[in-house]
Amino acid sequence: MFILLAMGSGLINAQEPVSPLVPDTLEQRVKPCTICHGDEDRAGRDAYYPRIAGKPAGYLFNQLRNFRDGRRYYQAMAILLENLSDEYLLEIAHYFSSLKYPYPEAAANTLSPEETQTVETLIHSGDPERDIPACSACHGKALMGVKPFIPSLLGLPHAYVAAQFGGWRNGGSMRGQIPDCMSEIARKLSQEEVNALTVWLPAQPITAEPAETEILTTELTQRCQTTLSGEGFTR
């Protein structure tokens, strides 16, 4: 009888699934982030969610804190980040900033020559008469952002770029709690210019990395000071 019981116990134990040992690494802990941002951060070009791999760490840190603290609102992000410390958010920001995943191929540029010229003027020269600075004046000559706080404008899906412009123009992105230079600038653009920008930007090839440092004018530094600072951020 003892032998039979022992054999039966062995069979039961053999049938019990063995839980795999999951390593306690940051890569494993940020898996919930990639549910929306895609496997290896490569959601389809038409997806809403933006690329976060390779973005400047200071920019990611500021956005994580804004979501956690309610200055920028998206329910899924607010739930994921609730009660996380600044130190942990900084660790997450540096992790995603260090990733070097391939960018998607550029989308087709369906703009007319006139629309393309209008966009490229805004990109490289701005419109001084409307107090609109050139996009490249802040986001770098290659539009790939400037470390540590300014993000790239390229490699983003059309739906996300359009939604961001909509949020800036109607005050939804930052819930009106802090001044935001992009909200001020976006409101000065016509809807036609915004539509053209959301087509032109995803159509540009990726040819560079975020710039290490580019000196901004005093006027732009003062104008966008909430974007260019990050209390508690360390490189």
The better pLDDT of the pair 44, 104 is held by 104
pLDDT for the residue 11: 47
The better pLDDT of the pair 26, 180 is held by 26
Least confident span in 103-117, 180-194, 203-217: 203-217
Tell me the two tokens of residue 106: 């550029």
Averaged pLDDT for residues 170-186: 72
**Mean pLDDT for all residues in the chain:** 85
* pLDDT over threshold 70, residue 161: yes
* pLDDT over threshold 50, residue 176: no
pLDDT for the residue 112: 98
Q: Is 143 left (phi over 0), alpha (psi -120 to 50) or beta?
A: left
Tell me: the pLDDT tens digits for 30-77? 988 888 876 554 555 557 788 899 999 999 999 999 999 998 888 989
Averaged pLDDT for residues 175-199: 86
Which band of pLDDT confidence, cut at 50, 70 and 90, is reported for residue 15? low
pLDDT for the residue 230: 77
Which band of pLDDT confidence, cut at 50, 70 and 90, is reported for residue 135? very high
pLDDT for the residue 9: 47
Q: What is the DSSP string of 31-94?
A: HHHHHHH-GGG---TT-SSPP-TT--HHHHHHHHHHHHHTSS--HHHHHHHTT--HHHHHHHHH
Which band of pLDDT confidence, cut at 50, 70 and 90, is reported for residue 226? confident
Helix (H, G, I), strand (E, B) or coil at 212: coil
pLDDT for the residue 18: 58
On the 0-12 / 13-18 / 19+ scale of CB atoms within 10 A, 205 is exposed
Averaged pLDDT for residues 149-164: 93
